[in-house]
């Protein structure tokens, strides 16, 4: 039976032990992804966006671990999955794409072989059938003449090509969900644009859900239908991308947008968010953004809940921007 909610996360908390006590990299996160949905997760350093992606896949590096909350994938509770159970899911129904394609590919193995292995790990098909699937996948991501490419080693490809190979590999077993963590950050603008287009088209054509994690609002805006902004391990705003970008409710989201040079008149000072990024070991009581917020009041001493302002929109702020007169 297919659940409409492909991924359902409630109250997720991932902690890392430190000499001064456990540090919550992700705290109180609720998320939902439906089939074919494209969700963007935006945040800067320390926001917890990468750890969130890893937590969903059960890839958090020990000694860090998920300490609270529930992750349900297609109706099944995977929160406490064993490594063996995860291996059945990863690369099969959930795939992950990382920032650096160089480390995702085995440098001493030919591309074709790696991709065929990825198929045969989860399906019982002949090598020839697998090779055919691989060829089709390569063409789909824009790698023409796949036969030559199959015999090549990763180092013989450019960065953009390698990332395409990684994406093709992710798509091989027709996953229901792809989690992409800064997949284009290390690539040039023109290559990034090509990959953004290709991912958009692919997800539309195959109905694969996509979670795109990035620090770059501009990039995420190109592909995500819904957006979640993270700060200091929590989601501070989430909703429909278009709506959020036109009228952001959380001061951090607004500040982030104002910080982008593209949004400011040329040559003038940017409206920057004062202060430094949050230190997870030293978070203030109450709202984590309060020390940097221009609209801070005494009510901000209490940590606000992520409360919905409309069916599709939620903000974690006692006086969101859009509510003021």
Q: Is-contact 51 14, C-beta < 8 A?
A: yes
* Residue 127, both tokens: 């090598």
253 near other proteins, rule: CB under 8 A = no
What is the closest distance, in whole angstroms, from the C-beta atom of residue 230 to other proteins in the complex?
13
Which of residues 2, 62, 266, 324 is near other proteins by CB under 8 A?
Answer: 266
The token duo for 289 is 């953004």
Distance CA(150)–CA(247), nearest Å, equals 47
Residues 218-237 that bind other proteins (CB under 8 A): 218-219, 221-222
Q: Is 193 in the site for other proteins (CB under 8 A)?
A: yes
Candidates 158, 247, 307, 310; binder of other proteins (CB under 8 A) is 158
Cα distances from 80 to residues 8, 57, 74, 155, 248, in angstroms, run: 14, 11, 15, 37, 36
CB-based contacts of 216: which residues, under 8 Å, 6+ apart? Answer: 42, 185
Q: Give the one residue of 55, 92, 99, 192 binding other proteins; rule: CB under 8 A.
A: 192
Using rule CB under 8 A, residue 245 touches other proteins: yes
Residue 286 CB, shortest distance to other proteins, in Å, is: 18
Please give the residues from 8 up to 47 whose contact with other proteins meets the rule CB under 8 A: 44-45
Burial of 199 (0-12, 13-18, 19+ CB in 10 A): buried
2 belongs to the binding site for other proteins (CB under 8 A): no
Q: Tell me the two tokens of residue 80.
A: 């406490």
Sites of contact with other proteins (CB under 8 A): 44-45, 158-161, 188-194, 196-197, 201, 215-219, 221-222, 245, 255-264, 266-267, 269-277, 279, 282
């Amino acid at each position: 039976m297919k659940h409409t909610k492909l991924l359902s996360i409630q109250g997720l908390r991932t902690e890392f032990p430190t000499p001064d006590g456990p540090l919550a990299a992700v705290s109180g996160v609720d998320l939902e992804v439906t089939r074919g949905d494209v969700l963007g997760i935006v945040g800067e350093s320390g926001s917890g966006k990468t750890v969130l992606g890893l937590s969903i896949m059960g890839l958090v590096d020990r000694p860090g671990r998920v300490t609270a909350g529930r992750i349900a994938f297609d109706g099944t509770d995977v929160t406490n999955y064993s490594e063996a159970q995860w291996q059945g899911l990863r690369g099969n129904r959930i795939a992950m794409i990382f920032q650096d394609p160089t480390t995702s590919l085995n440098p001493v193995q030919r591309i074709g072989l790696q991709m065929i292995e990825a198929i045969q790990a989860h399906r019982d098909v002949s090598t020839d059938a697998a090779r055919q699937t691989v060829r089709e996948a390569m063409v789909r991501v824009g790698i023409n003449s796949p036969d030559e490419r199959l015999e090549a080693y990763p180092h013989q490809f450019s960065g953009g090509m390698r990332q395409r190979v990684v994406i093709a590999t992710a798509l091989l077993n027709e996953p229901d969900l792809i989690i992409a963590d800064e997949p284009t950050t290390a690539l040039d603008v023109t290559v990034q644009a090509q990959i953004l287009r290709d991912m958009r088209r692919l997800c539309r054509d195959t109905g694969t859900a996509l979670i795109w994690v990035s620090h770059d609002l501009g990039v995420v805006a190109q592909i995500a239908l819904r957006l979640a902004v993270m700060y200091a391990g929590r989601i501070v705003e989430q909703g429909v991308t278009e709506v959020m970008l036109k009228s952001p409710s959380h001061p951090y989201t607004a500040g982030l947008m104002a910080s982008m040079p593209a949004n400011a008149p040329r040559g003038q000072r940017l409206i920057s968010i004062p202060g430094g990024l949050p230190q997870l070991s030293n978070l203030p009581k109450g709202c984590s953004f309060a020390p940097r917020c221009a609209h801070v009041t005494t009510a901000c001493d209490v940590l606000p809940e992520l409360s919905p302002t409309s069916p599709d929109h939620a903000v974690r702020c006692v006086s969101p921007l859009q509510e003021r007169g």
